[in-house]
Amino acid sequence: MMRLVRWQPEDLVHRLDDVIEVYGSAMGYNAELLQTRRGYVAAHAGRPGFRGVATLGDDGSLLGFGYGYTSTPGQWWHDQIRAALRRDDGKAWMSDCFELVELHVRPAAQGHGIGQRQLRALLSGVGHRTVLLSTPEADEDVSRAWRLYRRFGFVDVLRDFYFPGDDRAFGILGRSLPLPAHIAA
């Protein structure tokens, strides 16, 4: 058994050790990098428009989580993406945007619809016109994350984008909101 719960900012901070462990196992990050990410994740809980969800096992273990917030100028990710977009694309995508920051499922729990339920819960009822996310470039036929985002109607906004300090290419994906009824249900 598992259950999806809404998380308030304090819930994310309270379970930060579990969040970082799931994040690291899902992304394949080393322990040193994960320690630097702890501060970022904790700070994200205080951002305007924060929305979070978690999937808990019947024993209370964290199987997955996701969160996002209102994307605004002055935030590192927002400014990186805005600078890479043409002016009209930046305005269209980022003037009223929900930034889907993290969406992860523990590898052993993948393949059971957890990510889909988390994504639907995060995006249903969001009061923004668009949503954007970044995900490492991957073979779209193999990557569960890419297949999930495509099923939800995400389109390419930028491809092969490199963030400072990361040698991996990322895809920046977006879609308009609200979710259509057939996805939101």
Closest by alpha carbon to 101, among 140, 71, 146? Answer: 71
Strand 97-105, strand 2-7: pairing: unpaired
Name the token pair of 17. Answer: 């050790």
In contact, 42 and 13? CB cutoff 8 Å = yes
Candidates 23, 67, 69, 149; catalytic one: 149
Amino acid (1-letter code) at residue 148: L
Say whether 149 is catalytic.
Answer: yes
Amino acid (1-letter code) at residue 93: W
| Active site residue ranges | 149
